[in-house]
């Protein structure tokens, strides 16, 4: 079997995975290897072909510090084994791993493993389709024709992870994921059930790295903006995001939720790397406070004022003028006055001088 994009399909595996039941027999999972083309494969291969471009959240397997992860080992084994029976043995184990973390809230799912190869590249796609009552009732016979009906009903509801590499013992540490069940209004961009519990993985950007890169992107766009409204809009977005404790976000998500369409487009276009645009990370509060701690106001006659960003409203009042411009009134106790206080000496030299004095 070959997909429209020219991938030679090596293995298609389906499993009916109900919620975990400690009392159920192990045979509760029904699995099947599909060897002939049909409606089901047509549907699956369409998803397979689109998976690499469609999945935008970069994920990385957790490691024990010695390059081991049980789920990755199963996935790699499915890809590396040459006999279909061996591939199925490991796919069964993977389906069981999914079963073990599936609860009633997740519901019944149809789990698919598809492997294809093109030139020297191997692509492995894992997908979980949301099942329904019908699927539960008919689960005793996992018929390919019936499965295609499920796909038709739920065609846009699935979680997916795609692995693509030149196959080696070090392959498949990284994947790209998508969760088509989550709505745009949902704060979580990834499914914890799918990425963290089942795959034993995490988003590939650390909180600290994500926050510092986010800061660079925001400061970059503000520094090139000549529009005061746009600058204010971005800074307001930064202040509002700070209140979302533990929020997982991407730059793309920030643009959609906190910026106007025009500013969002400008910020998105300023990010060269589109993977980074969709990389999800948790805000590191300490770095966020440090990176965005100061707002710099440039006032007429060359006046520059540094205001603590997150206490802006406490100290600054903005007054609109008739001509559309603004005046600012800065309030606060005056502690000292200095002349030429902004030294151009490097920080370490300044520290040494201060210590001597």
Binding residues vs another protein (CB under 8 A):
8, 58, 60-61, 63, 65-67, 117-121, 164-171, 173-174, 202, 204-206, 208-209, 212-213, 272-276, 279, 347
Nearer to another protein, 2 or 236 (CB): 2
Smallest distance, another protein to C-beta of residue 171, A: 7
- Smallest distance, another protein to C-beta of residue 80, A: 10
Secondary structure (DSSP) of 129-184: EE--HHHHHTTTS--HHHHHHHHHHTTT-EEEEEEEES-STT--SEEEEEETTS-T
Q: Which is nearer to another protein, 43 or 214 (CB)?
A: 214
The whole-angstrom distance between residue 258's C-alpha and the CA centroid of its chain comes to: 18
Closer CB to another protein, 129 or 172, in the complex: 172
Number of neighbouring beta carbons within 10 Å of residue 51: 23
Measuring CA to CA, how many Å separate 34 from each of 14, 20, 128? 8, 25, 16
On whether the CB atoms of residues 150 and 16 are closer than 8 A, the answer is no
| Shortest Å distance, C-beta 116 to another protein | 9
92 burial via Cβ count (<10 Å: 0-12, 13-18, 19+): middle
Residue 272 CB, nearest approach to another protein (Å):
7
8 Å CB contact between 259 and 249: no
Minimum distance, C-beta of residue 175 to another protein, in the bound complex (Å)? 10
Of 272 and 338, which CB lies nearer to another protein in the complex structure?
A: 272
Shortest separation between residue 75's beta carbon and another protein, angstroms: 15
319 φψ region: left (φ > 0), alpha (ψ -120 to 50), beta (else):
beta
Closest to 110 measured CA to CA, from 128, 126, 133: 128
Nearer to another protein, 80 or 260 (CB): 80
**CB closer to another protein, 67 vs 155:** 67
Q: Rounded CA gap, 96 and 84, in Å?
A: 18
CB of 167 to another protein, least distance (A): 7
CA 180 to chain CA mean position, Å: 12
Compare residues 42 and 286 and give the one whose CB is closer to another protein. Answer: 286
We find the least distance from the C-beta atom of residue 201 to another protein, in angstroms, to be 10
Residue 318, strand partner residues: 328
CB of 353 to another protein, least distance (A): 17
- Counting Cβ atoms within 10 Å, is residue 333 exposed (0-12), middle (13-18) or buried (19+)? exposed
The answer to whether the CB of 248 falls within 8 A of the CB of 280 is yes
Q: For residue 217, give the nearest of 304, 281, 174, 303 by alpha carbon.
A: 281
Count how many residues are written for the chain.
357
């Amino acid at each position: 079997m070959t997909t429209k994009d020219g991938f030679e399909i090596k293995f298609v595996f389906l499993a009916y995975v109900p919620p975990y039941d400690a009392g159920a027999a192990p045979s509760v999972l029904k699995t099947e290897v599909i060897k002939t083309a049909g409606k089901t494969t047509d549907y699956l291969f369409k998803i397979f072909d689109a998976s690499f471009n469609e999945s935008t959240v970069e994920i990385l397997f957790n490691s024990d510090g010695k390059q081991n992860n049980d789920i990755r080992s199963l996935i790699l084994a499915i890809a590396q084994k040459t006999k279909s029976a061996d591939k199925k043995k490991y796919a069964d184990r993977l389906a069981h791993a999914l079963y073990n973390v599936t609860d009633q809230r997740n519901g019944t799912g149809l789990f698919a493993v598809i492997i294809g190869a093109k030139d020297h590249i191997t692509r492995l796609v894992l997908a979980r389709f949301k099942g329904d009552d019908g699927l539960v009732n008919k689960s005793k016979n996992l018929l390919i024709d019936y499965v295609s009906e499920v796909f038709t009903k739920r065609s846009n509801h699935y979680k997916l992870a795609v692995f693509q590499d030149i196959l080696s013992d070090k392959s498949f540490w990284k994947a790209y994921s998508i969760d088509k069940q989550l709505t745009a209004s949902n704060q979580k961009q990834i499914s914890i059930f799918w990425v963290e519990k089942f795959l034993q993985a995490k988003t590939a950007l650390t909180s600290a790295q994500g926050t510092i890169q986010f800061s660079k992107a925001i400061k970059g766009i503000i520094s090139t903006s000549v529009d005061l409204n746009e600058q204010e809009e971005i800074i307001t977005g930064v202040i509002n995001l700070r209140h979302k404790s533990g929020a997982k976000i991407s730059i793309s998500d920030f643009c959609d939720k906190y910026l106007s369409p025009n500013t969002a487009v400008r910020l998105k276009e300023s990010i060269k790397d589109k993977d980074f645009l969709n990389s999800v990370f948790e805000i590191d509060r300490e770095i966020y406070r440090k990176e965005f701690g100061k707002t710099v106001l440039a006032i007429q006659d060359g006046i520059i004022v540094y205001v603590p960003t997150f206490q802006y409203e406490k100290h600054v009042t903005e007054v609109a003028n008739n001509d559309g411009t603004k005046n600012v009134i800065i309030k606060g106790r005056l502690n000292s006055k200095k002349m030429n206080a902004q030294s151009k000496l490097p920080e370490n030299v300044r520290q040494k001088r201060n210590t001597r004095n």
